[in-house]
Chains A and B, each alone.
Chain A
Amino acid sequence: MYHGTGPVLAYLCRAFPPAVAAGLGMRPLRPVHRLSGAMARRGEEQVRPDVCPAVKAVLGAALTGEGPVSGVDVWAGLATCDGTRRLFGELEGMTRAPVIPLHLPSTRTPEAAGYYAGEMEAFAGYAVDRDLSEGWDSARAGEYEAAFRGAAGSLRRAALSGRADPVDLAGLLMDFSTACPTGGDAELAHRIDRADSREYSPTCRVAVLEVPGAPGDGLIPEALSARGAGMVALGCGALWGIPEGSPPPSPSPGDLAREYFDAVLCARCRPNDTVFEHLERTVDETGVDGLVVTTMRFCDMWFAERLRIRARMPVPVLVLDRDLSPAGRETAANRLDAFLDSLEAAL
């Protein structure tokens, strides 16, 4: 794993470039996996139950200082939805951990990209003003970003090939996503190479699109693995949103923000046709037999699109609207089994 020094900067959305943390001398952390129902219940002491489970769980974990957010020194308060906007609006007052707010535009115009770049510059300035950073190091940011993208590139190949064992692949994605490792991390690089080269002959292949914060309970990869099926991992739970190609050698925070802004693939984009075109293309190119979409309860942005996704995709689609409770897991498992049965029967 990445063992940088400095304070830990946590963020939730892929649109936040982790290299900005590195450039500011901090360690990036994306604690969206391994959230639990217990954390969500803790969060419900502060908000009503009908809030996105992931947001509640982050809040609950932050309040207790346990789990994936333990040791977070500062938050990048990237507002992407009503839930995260309110979470980051209140989190500092509740936990005393500094939160630096910034807004990710939904619109996809050059002006919106420019605004986001400005927000990221302001974010960096704010971190310095609050003595959370000694200043911006563009070389360090560039170096980090190049290595990060390199690692993401290798993992992307494994994620799209469908040849990695689903359980292994899910573990890799989780570790990569959480710890934001650089390509120089030997252990992770080795695991990625191994996953990429393993000869795994799946009976069928299923694309899995998970939204951030979806339960990292292994339900889908375990079910696929048990049947000898392959998994093509999509979405921000996997590697969507990470730019491809080489980054600028000495980027500013704004430069990085623009590249990440351009790479965003989220249902909240307005308009969001390109997101579904990308999904359609990927499903087509990878030749999967079915698609499983995991949304989080109360996430209007993705859930409202479920009918359009079903209508557009050339393969059968299962939408699992999940929360973090163990009770919901069984229902989801039954539906997933039925879906996989029908896929196998059709082959």
Chain B
Amino acid sequence: MNDPVTKLTVHQWEDRIREVPDEYVDRCRFLRDLVPGGIRYLYSPWEYSCRGDTLLRRLGFDSSKEGMRLWSFLFSERDRLFLASEKGWKVVGLMKDLGQTAPLAYAFPGLLAFYADELWWAPCFSEEPHLLEEAARLGAGEEMCFVRAALGAMVTLDYFPAPDLCIAAVGAVCDDFSAVMQLIEARGHPVHWWEMPQLPPGDRGAYHRFVRGQLRGVVEALEELTGRRATPEMLRRGVDMFGRLRGKTARLRELVYTAKRPPLPGLEAYLAEFLAIHACSEPVEVFAVLDDLIGLAESRLERNLSPLEAEDPIRVHWVSPPTDAALVPLLEDLGGCIAGTDYLINHAFTPFGEGEPLDAVARSCENDRLAGPVGARAKRIVEDAGRYGAEGVIISGIFGASHCPWDEKVISRAVEEELGIPVLSFDVPFSPGRLSEQVTGRMEAFMDLLRSRRGCSVSMAAPANVQQTADPMDHFRNSMAAETTEVRRLKRQGRGVVGIYCEYTPRDLILAAGAMPVCLCGASRRTIPPAETVLPANLCPLIKSSFGYILTGRCPFFMVSDLVVAETTCDGKKKMYELMADRKPQHILELTQKPGEEEARRHWYGEVAKLRTRLEEAFDTEVTDERMRKAIIRMNAERRLLRRAMMLGAEERPVVSGTELARLRYRVSGLDVHREMLQRLLDLAGQRREAGDYAAPEAAPRVIVSGCPMAEGTLKVIETIEESGGIVVVQETCSGWKPLDPVSEEGDPLEAIAEKHFRIPCSCMTPNTGRLELLRELAGTFRADAVVDLVWQACHTYSVESFTVSEFVKRELGLSYLKVETDYSNADRERLGIRIQTLLEMI
């Protein structure tokens, strides 16, 4: 792996992740104590952005594999929590002690702890407010700081499973979260309260004894939960472990913040600091993450390498954690760098002392900067800013936090009086998807001020603020975030949500019941390892990925589904549905599989009728013929638009690539925004045509991709074809052309719905002559040169059928044919590229 020291975009990392050596990827595993061998977690940020953390798509990332390990570790925390809970471990939500009780929790085997209050960053990364809105519904509105997101997450349970116990610190910590914790308890979550008083002046003997007693109470609560008594050795082990972690974090901070050109970007350093808190969900692995980062920083310092462009960046000390992660890169884009921080967790960089474990933790509590007077915190900030050679201080207040309004002025005064350097303070509002112009403008002006103090008047303009896109290509590439927001919004308004997995499920019928159909098919390789702890490894990746989402609680649509329709298409899915049956109300839709027989058709009609009844019961409504007709018209309009878009591939020189068309595979049907964007896409195609902006070279081989469905995240076959000089003109798949036949708008609507869906030529049908007929039609319409038959590993029906398809394509259609059997991983991408290049060269 080459080592260009720079920052990469999420898409650049999507390519670069393939260069990470397999042995390194293989080392990055969590929950080794729970799952033999552990679960792999190193994926590109794109993977995590697809799960809803969309801000990642607009950030820059350090180009090192070590940096990516850090990101992956932090963003896989919820996977650990859900998996541990699934496997019967106790999950404990620690709250507001910022790392103090983590070593005590770690002492207990079979228990996984996490910091619920650290969910404050979640709305920023997801760029949507659903956690905050849930919290507001329960009384914690915008007058309180973003820690209220934890209350929302206790309702939605899409970031962590319901904790078996919450350990809540109150006293001299934070009023906002104290109020949040009380609301959490009022919802029925078990809470053990403990007190961390404000630091007394003078003698701290009574304080120490009291806190030690409180910590003993925490241990007893954990003993009661786990049924195990904590020995001094167990506690010592936990304290030692976290003490060493603290030492490593402190070492990394020193390396990064004292360097003239930091060896790591500020954002990575920011995340690394918070490992001191998040370590509790996997402390052993954090050692490796930190060791990697320290090694990387030392190596870069020796070679004077930095991912920052500025040769002599302006040094800024940062106070309070910026709740919008985009602020730190903005500072660097403006020619600055982070020179020390006070993210309110500085106590977590001081190793625990020797001696009795509870004594050591109690002493650590005395270092919490929030527990003492703000003047004392200001004094330490002045010392730190001076030591790190800061030229200015930025205080980023947390909007609504009760301590910030006091702290800001006291700290500002102290810095200006003691150090004589400028201070910029502002509250960071919640502005999903973009930094507020006011904040950006103030940062720019501040950096200009600092630059002028150096005697330099050159101004660096901030990069253009990325706005919410109106570009249809961007929309479909990032559609999951918009869909998640919209589904949650409509759900709150009372709309039902029905999860589906297969194109045989009639969306028209669900819309007619007033509900929203959402596709739950998994397209992430990241959810496969957790799924393989339950499912066999030699199963179709689509099923494993889908199930992994359920297992790790990562599917936002499943979480809000009122009903899941389980279609009996293949054996793997049928058995998966059985494993899911106790999680959501489920309706089995039996698909008859002899498309040529009238009895089968009649049975299928009965099944569709039963689904209508189930929907009527589930949503307490009547699905009348009139409502069905309206839904058919609505869905047909959507299908027509999709068909028109797909037909762009039929042009002599397509202006839209197969990869772009593949992204039209969105999850939620019936949304106006998708229809609007489809129309825009057609307009955009016209503009490209006029501009001569084609998607592929003239005479590029035209390829039909047939077989299993794909989605964003699993498009490697299409991408590889197009990277190799070909163009995918159409997909003969359920993610392409197959499901786009209209439903007849005449006659009995239920009959029409049943008839349309029964005609889908999936390989589960027998005989499946419809697929061959469709291939013949598409090959003619799209003037194809070749067919690439994609078979997901262990998809037996498509795999066996490939022989028939191969014979038909080669002999009947006279086209080139290639069968590709693969999974969701990128491991075979090189091999795939060679095979596809060979195919294209032969055309």
Contact = CB atoms under 8 A, between A and B. Distances in A.
A90 B373 contact: yes
Nearest to A87: B406
Given A89-B373, A115-B210, A305 B139 contact: yes
A111 B171 contact: no
A46 B375 CA distance: 13
Interface string A326-342: 00000000000000000
Interface string B204-217: 00100010011001
Interface in A46-69: 46-51
Given A81-B175, A111-B214, A115-B210, A106 B375 contact: no
A300 B213 contact: no
A83 B176 CA distance: 12
Contacts of A114: 210
A278 interface: no
Interface in A293-315: 297-298, 300-301, 303-308
A105 B201 contact: no
Contacts of A93: 375
Interface in A96-148: 101-103, 105-107, 109, 111-112, 114-115, 118-119, 122, 126
Contact of B206 (A107, A115, A267, A308): A115
A118 B138 CA distance: 37
A50 B171 contact: no
Nearest to B397: A48
Interface string B62-103: 000000000000000000000000000000000000000000
Contact of A308 (B139, B144, B213, B406): B139
Given A103-B172, A270-B168, A298-B402, A115 B373 contact: no
Contact of B171 (A103, A272, A303, A304): A103
Nearest to A45: B409
Interface in A190-204: none
Contacts of A306: 139
Contacts of A107: 170-171, 193-195
B197 A105 contact: yes
Contacts of A101: 198, 200-201
A304 B402 contact: no
Interface string B116-159: 00000000000000000000001110011000000000000000
Interface in B401-429: 402-410
A270 B405 CA distance: 25
B301 interface: no
B182 interface: yes
B200 A122 contact: yes
B191 interface: yes
Given A106-B195, A304-B179, A308-B139, A46 B185 contact: no
A92 B201 CA distance: 13
B180 interface: yes
B684 interface: no
A298 B401 CA distance: 9
B174 interface: yes
B417 to A, nearest CB: 12
B403 A111 contact: no
A49 B409 CA distance: 11
A274 to B, nearest CB: 12
B181 interface: yes
B178 interface: yes
B186 interface: yes
A60 to B, nearest CB: 14
A271 interface: yes
A79 B172 contact: yes
Contact of A86 (B181, B193, B373): B373
Given A115-B210, A271-B182, A103 B197 contact: yes
Contacts of A86: 373-374, 403, 406-407, 410
Contacts of B174: 82
A157 interface: no
Contacts of A48: 404-406, 408-409
B183 interface: yes
A119 B203 CA distance: 11
B179 A51 contact: no
Contacts of A271: 182, 185, 191, 193
Contacts of B172: 79, 85, 103
Contact of A112 (B185, B195, B201): B195
Contacts of A83: 175, 402, 406
A227 interface: no
A46 B171 CA distance: 24
B181 A270 contact: yes
Contacts of A90: 373-375, 406, 410
A47 B413 CA distance: 11
A268 interface: yes
Contact of B409 (A47, A87, A103, A111): A47
A51 B403 CA distance: 9
Given A93-B375, A111-B214, A122-B206, A47 B181 contact: no
| Max chain A Cβ within 10 angstroms of own Cβ: one of B172, B193, B404 | B193
Nearest to B137: A307
Interface in B163-177: 168, 170-172, 174-176
Interface string A31-49: 0000000000000001111
| Max chain B Cβ within 10 angstroms of own Cβ: one of A47, A83, A107, A272 | A107
| Max chain B Cβ within 10 angstroms of own Cβ: one of A106, A119, A126 | A106
A83 B183 CA distance: 21
Contacts of A301: 175, 178-179
A79 B214 contact: no
A77 to B, nearest CB: 10
B186 A308 contact: yes
A304 B408 contact: no
A195 B372 CA distance: 45
Contacts of B408: 48
Interface string A236-254: 0000000000000000000
A243 to B, nearest CB: 22
Nearest to B145: A300
Contacts of B194: 107
A217 to B, nearest CB: 22
Contacts of B202: 126
Interface string A185-217: 000000000000000000000000000000000
Contacts of B139: 303-308
A83 B191 CA distance: 25
B200 A304 contact: no
B174 to A, nearest CB: 7
A85 B175 CA distance: 11
Given A82-B406, A86-B403, A101-B198, A304 B193 contact: no
A85 B198 contact: yes
Contacts of A109: 217
A307 B138 contact: yes
A47 B405 contact: yes
Contacts of A85: 172, 198, 373
A304 B140 contact: yes
A71 B503 CA distance: 80
B217 to A, nearest CB: 8
Given A101-B200, A303-B143, A82 B182 contact: no
10 contacts: A81-B175, A86-B406, A89-B375, A101-B198, A106-B171, A107-B194, A118-B206, A272-B182, A301-B175, A305-B139
Interface of B: 138-140, 143-144, 168, 170-172, 174-176, 178-183, 185-186, 191, 193-195, 197-198, 200-202, 206, 210, 213-214, 217, 372-375, 402-410
Which 7 interchain pairs have the tightest Cβ spacing?
A89-B373, A48-B405, A304-B179, A86-B406, A82-B402, A307-B139, A103-B197
Given A101-B200, A115-B206, A300-B178, 16 more contacts: A47-B409, A48-B404, A82-B175, A83-B175, A85-B172, A86-B403, A86-B407, A103-B197, A105-B195, A106-B170, A107-B193, A111-B210, A114-B210, A115-B197, A300-B402, A305-B139
